[in-house]
Chain A
Amino acid sequence: NAGVTQTPKFQVLKTGQSMTLQCAQDMNHEYMSWYRQDPGMGLRLIHYSVGAGITDQGEVPNGYNVSRSTTEDFPLRLLSAAPSQTSVYFCASSRAGYSYEQYFGPGTRLTVT
């Protein structure tokens, strides 16, 4: 199994540009989520999904959109990038929800200039 994969590994955007961070898992996990990690802080939940077709907001959802058309994929879209979105983004999956063991992808380091 590849586990949780994320692309790209690094990305530089200009303010106002849009892009999609990709996340995929091959463990048939129902639950997937996106976190951002900023220096000196723990991980903060952006959006999550409990299954295909179902998404919900986390702690810091503003400026981000998600969709879940398949069990395997959970892309994160930045519609109009802002410098405040400079961060490291992690995708995670688990068997059924927050309360189960979380598996993380390798992360995407995003810089917005």
Chain B
Amino acid sequence: GIQVEQSPPDLILQEGANSTLRCNFSDSVNNLQWFHQNPWGQLINLFYIPSGTKQNGRLSATTVATERYSLLYISSSQTTDSGVYFCAGSSNFGNEKLTFGTGTRLTIIP
């Protein structure tokens, strides 16, 4: 299976700041997902983004599968953005299991 590395592991920002989270894969990915785990532990799917760019409000994500990375952008951060962000991917569409990174812990200070 693939290896997934996320950076940075921790990020502390002032409310209103922008941030970029990165996910690197050891092999090409045909499928990639970003999740947010809020401080209460709930995991929410943010993006299913095997390639290209998607936007949802203040969040956007870009995946360049051939270069084995994905980026999650958060603009105008709010305290509710705090939590841990995970990326997960698999190398063969529909066949390989999802492998999760160890996450980026984001703390937004009011």
Chain A positions within 8 Å of B, measured between CB atoms, are 40-45, 48, 58-59, 88, 90, 96-104, 106-107, 109
Contacts and interface: CB of A to CB of B under 8 A. Distances in A.
B69 interface: no
A98 B42 contact: no
Interface residues of B, number: 25
24 contacts: A40-B102, A42-B99, A42-B101, A42-B103, A43-B88, A43-B100, A96-B94, A98-B94, A98-B97, A98-B98, A99-B50, A99-B94, A100-B48, A101-B33, A101-B45, A102-B35, A102-B88, A102-B98, A104-B43, A104-B45, A106-B41, A106-B42, A107-B42, A107-B43
Interface string B66-110: 000000000000000000001010100110111111110000000
B30 to A, nearest CB: 7
Most buried by A among B35, B41, B96: B41
A58 B100 CA distance: 13
B31 interface: yes
B2 to A, nearest CB: 12
Contacts of A99: 30-31, 50, 90, 93-94
Interface of B: 4, 30-31, 33, 35, 41-45, 48, 50, 86, 88, 90, 93-94, 96-103
A99 B99 CA distance: 11
